[in-house]
Amino acid sequence: MTAAPTGPQIRVLVVDDHPMLREGVAAVLALQPDMVLVGEAENGAEAVTRHRELRPDVTLMDLQMPGMSGLEAIEAIRAEVPAARIVVLTTYAGDVQALRALKAGATGYLLKSTLRRELLDTIRNVHAGRRQLQPEVAHEIAIHAIDEALSEREIHVLRLVAAGRANKQIAWDLSLSEDTVKAHLKSIFAKLDVADRTHAVTVAARRGVIEI
C-alpha cells in the first residue's frame, strides 16, 4: 500500500556494491510519495563522502563491501553525524554481526531476503526515531546472549582454519606452538558448541564471527 505524504519526503541514500540491488531499491522508492532516493554509493568510503554531501534522513548500508566495510562506514558517519539514521542491509541474521553493527551506531537491521515486504516500513520507522530489529535477528541475539565470546586470537586462528591452514601452518603464521593452536581450537569448539573444524567455520560464518 502506498503511504500518503504527511510532510517533507524522507531522503534516502542506498549503499551496496551490487548495482541490481541499488536499482531495485530505487524502483521501490520511486513509487512512494513520502520518500525520495537522493544518492547511491557502492563502497564504504564513497558512502561516507555521499552522506557528508547529501545529509540523507535514512541511509541503507550493506556491510560486506570491498575496501572500507559497511561497519567502518557506519562508525565514520556516526562520528561526523551522531544522529545519523542507518539501516543495515545484510544477507546474514548472525548475532555477532548484528551486535557489531548496532554498537557501531546502526538504528535498523534488515535482511535482504525481506526487503520486498519490510523495506518501506523499516525506513519509515527508523526515520520516526524507532529502532528496527527483525525477529529472526533478535532471536539469534537472545539465544547467544550468555555465550562466551571468542577472543581476538581465537578469531584469528579460526580465520586461518577457514583459509584451509593446517595446525602446523597456523602455528607458524602466528608464532605459536602447535599445542597452543590445539588449545585455541578446543576453546573455539566449546564456545561455538561444535565438534570439528568444518562445523566451527560454518557456524562462525553464519553468526558473523568471520567472513568467508
- H/E stretch holding 110: strand 108-111
Per-residue pLDDT tens digits for 160-187: 999 999 999 999 999 999 999 999 999 9
Give the per-residue pLDDT at 1: 42
Q: What is the mean pLDDT of residues 140-159?
A: 87
Query: Is 91's pLDDT higher than 90?
Result: no
Rounded to the nearest 10 degrees, what angle do helices 197-207 and 152-162 cross at?
110
The three cell numbers of residue 18 are 551490487
| Mean pLDDT of the chain, nearest integer | 91
Say if CB 38 and CB 11 are below 8 A apart. Answer: yes
Per-residue pLDDT tens digits for 108-132: 999 998 888 899 999 999 999 999 8
Q: What is the mean pLDDT of residues 124-149?
A: 85
CATH superfamily of 10-143: Response regulator (3.40.50.2300)
Specify the domain boundaries for CATH 3.40.50.2300 within the chain: 10-143
In 1-44, which ranges are E strands?
A: 10-15, 35-41
Round to whole Å and give the CA distance between 90 and 112: 5
Specify the domain boundaries for CATH 1.10.10.10 within the chain: 152-207
Round to whole Å and give the CA distance between 45 and 47: 5
User: Looking at domain 152-207, which of 3.40.50.720, 3.20.20.80, 3.30.420.40, 1.10.10.10 is its CATH number?
Assistant: 1.10.10.10
Round to whole Å and give the CA distance between 166 and 185: 12
Per-residue pLDDT tens digits for 188-198: 999 999 999 99
Percent of the chain with pLDDT over 70: 97
For the question of whether the overall pTM of this predicted structure is more than 0.95, the answer is no
